[in-house]
Amino acid sequence: MSLYISAPFFFLKPPGAGSGYPIGMPVSTAEPEVLTTSPEAAPEPHAGQPQFESWGRYPRYDAKVIPLNWRSDFPAVLAGAHGSALPVGLGRSYGDVCLLKDGVLLQTTGMNRLIDFNPETGVLTAEAGISLAQILDFAVPRGFFLPVTPGTKYVTLGGAIANDIHGKNHEVAGSFGNHVPCFELVRSPRENPDWFAATVGGMGLTGLITWAQLRLRPIVSRGIDYEGIQYHGIDEFLDLKQRYQDVEYTVSWIDCVSTGKNFARGIFMLGEHSKVPGELKPSPEPKLVFPVDAPGFALNRASVSMFNTVFFHKQGKAHVKTVQDYEPFFYPLDKVLHWNRMYGRNGLVQFQYAIPWEHAKEGTVAILREIARSGLASFLAVLKAFGDVPSLGMMSFPTPGIMLALDFPIKPNLTFPLLQRLGDMTLEFGGRLYSAKDAAMTPRQYQTFYPEWQRFARFRDPMLTSSFWERVADTAGA
Ligand SMILES: Cc1cc2nc3c(=O)[nH]c(=O)nc-3n(C[C@H](O)[C@H](O)[C@H](O)COP(=O)(O)OP(=O)(O)OC[C@H]3O[C@@H](n4cnc5c(N)ncnc54)[C@H](O)[C@@H]3O)c2cc1C
């Protein structure tokens, strides 16, 4: 059964019929028209690696990976599957939201065709396995950009919807689902309302998103008018956030290791798409690859502390202004493919919270102190404000307040107890953690962070589950 779902309404339609889908375009078994997209823009997700890994490379589970190339592959594969399955994209989630122990992973990256584009409205229709990198390759030369982008372009359209991802413009644009006029969801059984809300942020559990529309935003140049401003402490961060609340993209790097007078120092970064017309060419392919797993001891308090001091002073002055290409502004980490190998064979976990304004400041200070005390933080840490554009998903993560995200190398006896404490502190301050980045939440934490989880469970396709869901929600057979 397929559902054509458009925000804010959803409606059932037989395949190929009527509105929500470009007239005359083939839908399912027929071959969708390929407009143009370069295959290099979607790197082989896990070339040369035996199993599908999430970005944190923790946990690691055996699963059968079956590529889906056509919409019609989905019912056929499910009919032949023993046990449960889960649709996955490029595995850029950090934890186990894209994993299923001993199950079947339906890899959608072969379903990556562009179907339709309307330059009047900016609305692009594409199969769900297309990567944001491929969309950019198509859109930028035509003077369009993504409405919301995460810190890497190597995620799929389906993955972006299923985690209802957010970007540096959350305060003005809200999260990804707010820019998706319509998509198709194919399920094994049939039923029910509220499918849009359940599927945006629904972690792949409600069915397979086969194609979706996305409203792009116009640009006239690849350039970003950039400003970088040093800050010292949360009060200065909050002042800057207030002062620049009308700027489209705001984010900050924060030092999570230093204490004393350098506690919570950082660099506040602002950007707007340049209004000066410039050449709109696609990006070159990244040339650098992190070649091997780094030894476990490479990241330690001393090396991270040194990096942080160099990074904080890198810009030379307290306030710099320049025009930057969009690549280093949005995707600084994509420059080095497989940078996650820097954390060694054990992998990494990310801790990412959002705490509502009521307790945002005290919660952030308390959590940052706990992190600094642990000495375990890496240098990849981001502090940002979430705005008040409501997310459309029942299980979406963004909520108005402060968001902190940082990576920890996995040191089993130290990292997980710390994550438990930080999760409990987040709970105490009324916040929540981000499922797309998680590998450590307890059922109690998850079920308190996401009080709608039982209502959401009713929308789950009974053939689909994930290791994440089994860990945090399905413990009692939800
Ligand atoms: C360097 C880096 C920076 C990041 N920065 C951000 C950021 O700034 N903001 C942010 O929000 N996130 C960020 N992320 C997380 C990332 O954007 C999300 O985890 C995203 O969902 C990954 O997409 P994917 O295609 O790799 O999907 P996967 O990780 O493979 O899967 C993600 C979820 O989507 C589901 N899914 C995938 N395809 C489909 C489909 N066709 N139908 C139904 N369900 C599907 C899966 O079941 C799973 O639950 C970052 C990740 C990295 C590695």
Question: H-helix or E-strand containing 392?
Answer: none
Q: Is 145 helix (H, G, I), strand (E, B) or coil?
A: strand
User: Rounded to 5 degrees, what are φ and ψ at 156?
Assistant: -90, 165
Residue 311 structure tokens: 């990074």
The alpha carbon of 116 and the centre of ligand 1 are apart by a number of angstroms equal to 23
User: Strand locations in 151-248, DSSP E?
Assistant: 182-186, 208-215, 217-218, 223-232
Bridge partner list, 10: 5
381-386/249-254 β-pairing: antiparallel
The alpha carbon of 145 and the centre of ligand 1 are apart by a number of angstroms equal to 19
Length of the chain: 478
Going by CA atoms, what residue is nearest to atom 13 of ligand 1?
Answer: 150
More confident of the two residues 459 and 297: 459
Rounded mean pLDDT, 393-419? 95
Rounded mean pLDDT, 280-307? 78
Residue 259 DSSP class: -
Residue 4 is predicted with a pLDDT of 62
Model confidence pLDDT, tens digit, residues 178-232: 999 989 998 864 444 588 899 999 999 999 999 999 999 999 999 999 999 999 9
The alpha carbon of 42 and the centre of ligand 1 are apart by a number of angstroms equal to 14
Residue 123 structure tokens: 């609305």
The alpha carbon of 201 and the centre of ligand 1 are apart by a number of angstroms equal to 10
Of ligand 1's listed atoms, the one at least distance from the Cα of 108 is: 41
Residue 10 is predicted with a pLDDT of 36
Number of helices (H) and strands (E) in the chain: give both, helices first: 13, 21
Which of these, 265, 222, 266, 268, lies nearest to 244 by C-alpha position? 268
Give 2's pLDDT tier (boundaries 50, 70, 90): low
Residue-averaged pLDDT of the chain: 87
Question: H-helix or E-strand containing 253?
Answer: strand 249-254
Give 321's pLDDT tier (boundaries 50, 70, 90): very high
pLDDT cut 90: percent of the chain above it? 70
Residue 271 DSSP class: E
Residue 388 is predicted with a pLDDT of 96
Residue 30 is predicted with a pLDDT of 27
Is 50 exceeded by the pLDDT of residue 335?
yes
Model confidence pLDDT, tens digit, residues 36-70: 333 334 444 444 444 799 999 999 999 999 999 99
Is 50 exceeded by the pLDDT of residue 21?
no
Could you tell me the pTM of the whole model?
A: 0.86
Of ligand 1's listed atoms, the one at least distance from the Cα of 128 is: 41
